A and B are shown apart, each in its own frame.
Chain A
Amino acid sequence: MSIRLLIMGLALACVAIMGGPNAAQAQQGPLRIEITEGVIEPLPFAVPSFQPESGAAGQMAVDLARVVSEDLTGTGLFREIPASAFISTVSDFNAPIQYADWKAINAQALVTGAVNVSGNSLNVKFRLYDVFSGAELGSGLQFSGTVDGWRRMAHKVADAVYSRITGEGGYFDSRVVYVSETGPKDNRSKRLAIMDYDGANVQYLTDSSSIVLAPRFSPTGDRVLYTSYESGFPRIYVLDIGSVSRRVLESAEGTMSFAPRFSPSGETVVYSLAQGGNTDIYTMDIGSGQSVRLTNTPSIETAPSFSPDGSRIVFESDRSGTQQLYIMPVTGGEATRISFGSGRYGTPVWSPRGDLVAFTKQNAGRFHIGVMRLDGSEERLLTASFLDEGPTWAPNGRVIMFARETQGAGGSSSLFSVDISGRNLKKVPTPEGGSDPSWSPLQK
């Protein structure tokens, strides 16, 4: 028996030796490869002029397509293929797409649309195509509004296109409130202004009779908190954008309150209050006016910002001897320091995604806008200049807007935006100088 088992083993060994090479050569299953390196470049897309479905929609169709294209191109993630390169045209919104013609010019995404104007009513619909897959990406969408709000319609189309391709929310249908500045540095007049995210449709909310600072949007985008020196001392005001009416948040005599921000619920305000030479952080219920002191140290604590879930607050403090960033519970208590790099950190703002904190950093005579993880890791400086400050997040947490002031007595302040990767730094057009921007949530 044992001999037979030995023979059996030898036979199996021989078969294994003889069959081994064949087994190695045979392809079992599919060929497998792993790709770990790609390219980072703007995705080429084409937006032919939208189809006017009414006589009055001719120019509107052209303008809508242009704004959609500008929105996408402005992100730095997309590259528009000029109309002069088009091989075929889209003459009918429902006609089949000639994919070969768009492939030939390397258009990877194609946006087609149609516009219908009836009186003051505007109707816009669009389709998005993945050219190389030869299929529509998502289904067609239609927006209705007024002719006056045609730019918002274009922004909404661009938001939908952006979201379908990138997989994250857009930020085009949003607004920015900021401090509009005119005049020299030593005699600069300031007033609150509001505009579309791209600098269009600027409107002024206050006059320039008193200094205004640090406007902040409410979570719903209908109110603005800001600090004004109208009374001679800094005080916090709440401004209703729709009615342009305002009221002051009361504070005790002899105190100065500033740096306010809404809580995610919009019912509470966190702010700094200076009293007797000491500055600490407080929260106030807007409805009742009840305030709660969150910090109580001899150092300066200011620039608080809520986490998106409202459970924590990030702020700046010099309690360690230099200006650094800390995170504490919304009820106050022990704070955890998160910034440890060289230089001074200030004006922290929590990302809408909740994963990053944007900040201003001063180091070696230069200012930077940067981001870091909540534990202070992966600090990444996005800009560097004579003076960069006041970061604010886009609704999707991908872009940061801030103010940049140029050097010299004739220097001025302007608004800039940058992707959190550090790419696509560009100036935001404003009719005058601008500072202290605050980005609104996406409009409903």
Chain B
Amino acid sequence: MDAGYYISGAGHLGLIGWLLFGGVFRPDPPPFETQEVSIISGAEFDAILAAQRAPDQATDVAQPTAPEITPDAPEVAAAPDEMIEQPQPVQTETPPPDPAPEEVQETPPAEAEVTDAAPITPEPPSDVAVLAPEVAPTPVPREAPRVAPEPVAQPDPEATPDPVEQEAVTPDAEGETSTQEPQEATAPEEATTEIVTEATEAPRAAPNQSPRPPSRRPEAPAPQVAETPSENANDTDAAAIAAAVAAAQSSAPDAPSAPSGPPLSAGEKESLRVAVSSCWNVGSLSSDALQTTVIVTVSMNQDGTPIVGTIQLASSSGGSDAAARQAFEAARRAIIRCGAKGYQLPADKFGQWQNIEMTFNPERMRVK
């Protein structure tokens, strides 16, 4: 029974509370327009009305041009009156120009609209650049550089050689090729040129892959640094610190006998890559060999030529041993051929490229 009272009481309290404070929780009222209203007195209202009637009175006030009544000095005033009358007919009575616009409307449809556009463009050069770019910025720059420079430069030197080239073409088109039209159906010939073209492209600025991080040699002697901890020989912890420092230092500066130098830049490595690529001919490889990736190592002379006897197959993947052998031979031919006159490598970094490991991956050259 009590529970019923409690519930009823709570409900009523809630209802009363909502009525009293429900507005607090009410969401923001919908937007509505407001206008400010100001209270004015009757005198102010009359003043406003008077202000609205002011023009009538003003005109009336203007009438009392008393000076007209005072003809005391007519002669003096007469002169200025005449002066004033002269300018009035000049401008106000010129309305005759009104018929002029009517004539203008007739002429433009015939010629003015077409000619207006053209004459505007030649104006820019004569006037100032301020008007030209605003009127026609886009059409002018597109047409000018393509048309103007080429025909001016070419006609003189190439006018005579043209017929010579055409004569050379006609004899080629004789007989056999014209009769064997089916050769046009060979799609891959285009593929060949594409691949060659890609290979002969200028070296890209960015490398295809990030350089591999130099591997740290796990073990290296550290004779000199190991002596320093002897100063703190009594302290085993200090000795451990010194040993750790020595080990860390020993991994950084290795002292190879070959002249080292800064590592090859991405552009230098790319140059070498492109040079070898240009001689890597996979056209005569079997499909199995084209599935095989070979890693070839080679030692270089300081003049940039490869030492032929050091070219070795380090490893292969993706094909049989026979296929790997064919792929290796193609890679070896590429290294030797294009390196016959020496690769363009920085001499001061010889230590960096004295030994090279080349991975020949024919995945992109595969016939699919």
Chain A residues engaging chain B, CB cutoff 8 angstroms: 1, 4, 7-8, 11-12, 15-16, 19-20, 22-43, 77-78, 103, 108, 130, 132-134, 137, 165-168, 378, 380-385, 398, 404, 416, 418-427
Complex Cα–Cα for A29 and B212 (A):
11
Given A8-B244, A31-B352, A132-B333, 18 further pairs, Cβ under 8 A: A8-B241, A11-B245, A22-B253, A26-B253, A26-B254, A30-B355, A32-B357, A37-B277, A38-B334, A77-B283, A132-B332, A132-B337, A166-B289, A167-B288, A168-B286, A384-B185, A398-B286, A422-B186
**B323 interface residue per 8 A CB criterion:** yes
Top 7 A-B residue pairs of the complex, sorted by shortest distance between their CB atoms: A167-B326, A38-B280, A19-B252, A168-B286, A422-B188, A30-B355, A28-B214
Report the minimal beta-carbon distance from B177 to chain A, rounded to whole angstroms.
12
Q: Which of B325-368 contact A (CB under 8 A)?
A: 325-327, 329, 332-334, 336-337, 340, 351-353, 355-365, 367-368
B251 contacts which chain A residues (CB < 8 A)?
19, 23
Q: Within 8 Å CB of B182, what residues of A?
A: 383, 385, 404, 416, 425, 427
B34-42, B119-127, B154-162, B193-201: which one contacts chain A? B193-201
A-side contacts of B353, CB under 8 Å = 31
Query: Is B355 in contact with A34, judged by CB distance below 8 angstroms?
Result: no
* 16 residue pairs from A and B, CB less than 8 Å apart: A11-B241, A23-B253, A27-B351, A29-B215, A30-B297, A31-B269, A33-B273, A33-B358, A36-B361, A37-B280, A38-B282, A39-B199, A167-B288, A416-B182, A422-B187, A422-B188
CB of B199 within 8 A of CB of A133, answer no
Give chain B nearest CB distance to A354 CB in angstroms.
Answer: 12
Q: B264 at interface (Cβ–Cβ under 8 A)?
A: yes
Q: Which of B214, B240, B325 has the most CB of A within 10 A?
A: B214
Interface residues of B (CB under 8 A from A): 180, 182-183, 185-189, 191-192, 195-196, 198-199, 208-209, 212, 214-217, 237-238, 240-241, 244-245, 248-249, 251-254, 260, 262-264, 269, 272-273, 276-289, 297, 308, 322-323, 325-327, 329, 332-334, 336-337, 340, 351-353, 355-365, 367-368
Q: Is there an interface contact between A418 and B286, defined as CB atoms closer than 8 Å?
A: no
Cβ of B256 to closest chain A Cβ, rounded Å: 8
Q: Are B352 and A4 in contact (CB under 8 A)?
A: no
With beta carbons under 8 angstroms apart, the residue of A8, A20, A378 that contacts B237 is: A8
Measured between alpha carbons, how far is A41 from B278 in the docked complex, in Å? 11
**A-chain residues with CB within 8 Å of residue B367 when the two chains form the complex:** 420-421
Q: CB distance A23 to B216 under 8 Å?
A: yes
Which residue of the partner chain, among B269, B340, B362, contacts A38 with CB atoms under 8 Å? Answer: B362
Select which of A23, A40, A103 is within 8 A of B283 by beta carbon: A40
Report if A383-B185 is in contact (Cβ < 8 Å); known contacts: A26-B214, A33-B273.
yes
Residues of B within 8 A of A422 (CB): 186-189, 191
Complex contacts, A31 vs chain B, CB 8 Å: 264, 269, 352-353, 355-357
Query: Cα distance A78–B208 when bound, in Å?
Result: 31
Q: How far is the CA of A137 from the CA of B326 in the complex (A)?
A: 11
Question: Assuming the A-B contacts A26-B253, A38-B281, are A425 and B272 also in contact, with contact meaning beta carbons closer than 8 angstroms in the complex?
Answer: no
Give bound CA distance, A8 to B235, whole Å.
Answer: 13
CA distance A29 to B297 in the complex (A): 11
Q: Is the CB of B252 within 8 A of A23?
A: yes
Docked complex Cα distance between A224 and B318 (Å): 39
CB within 8 Å for A33 and B356 given contacts A39-B199, A418-B186: yes
Instruction: Check if A25 sits within 8 Å of B262, measured CB to CB.
Output: yes
- Chain B residues whose C-beta falls within 8 Å of the C-beta of A42 in the assembled complex: 283-284
Whether the pair B365, A35 counts as a contact (CB closer than 8 A) is no
Query: Is there contact, CB below 8 Å, between A41 and B180?
Result: no
A39 contacts across to B, CB distance below 8 A: 195-196, 199, 277-283
Considering the complex, give the chain A residue whose CB is closest to the CB of B339.
A132
Complex contact B283–A43 (CB within 8 A): yes
Which of B198, B215, B285 meets A28, CB within 8 Å?
B215
B285 touches A167 (CB 8 A): yes
Kindly provide the distance from the CB of B113 to the nearest chain A CB, expressed in whole angstroms: 50
**CB of B224, distance to nearest CB on chain A (Å):** 15
Max chain B CB contacts within 10 Å: which of A33, A42, A43, A133? A33
Give bound CA distance, A398 to B367, whole Å: 12
Q: Closest CB-CB distance, B187 to chain A, in whole Å? A: 5
